[in-house]
Amino acid sequence: MARDAAIAAMDWAALEAAVAECTACGLSDTRTNTVLGVGDRRAEWMLVGEAPGENEDLQGEPFVGQAGKLLDNMLGALGLARDRNVFIANVLKCRPPGNRNPEPEEVAHCEPFLRRQIALIRPKVIVVLGRFAAQSLLRSTTPIGKLRGTVHQYEGIPVVVTYHPAYLLRTLTDKARAWEDLCLAREVHDRAGAEA
pLDDT value at position 193? 75
The Cα–Cα gap between 93 and 142 comes to: 24
Give the helix, strand, coil percentages of the chain, each rounded to 5. Answer: 55, 15, 35
Burial 163-173 (b: 16+ CB within 10 A, else e): bbbbbbeeeee
pLDDT tens for 68-125 read 999 999 999 999 998 889 999 999 999 999 889 899 999 999 999 999 999 999 999 9
Average pLDDT rounded to a whole number, residues 22-36: 96
Average pLDDT rounded to a whole number, residues 181-196: 89
pLDDT tens for 119-175 read 999 999 999 999 999 999 999 999 999 999 999 999 999 999 999 999 999 998 999
pLDDT value at position 1? 76
Q: Where are the domains of the chain?
A: 2-195
Long-range Cβ contacts of 14-22 (<8 Å, 24+ apart): 15/113, 15/116, 15/117, 15/120, 18/113, 19/93, 19/113, 22/93, 22/94, 22/109, 22/113
The Cα–Cα gap between 47 and 59 comes to: 19
Handedness of CA 21, 115, 193, 183 (dihedral sign): positive
The Cα–Cα gap between 179 and 171 comes to: 14
Per DSSP, the three-state class of 50 is: coil
pLDDT value at position 196? 60
pLDDT tens for 38-73 read 999 999 999 999 999 999 999 999 999 899 999 999
pLDDT value at position 46? 98
The residues, ordered by sequence, that sit 6+ positions from 43 with a Cβ below 8 Å of its Cβ are: 85, 86, 87, 121, 123
pLDDT value at position 192? 84
Class of 2-195 per CATH?
alpha beta
Largest CA distance in the chain: 47
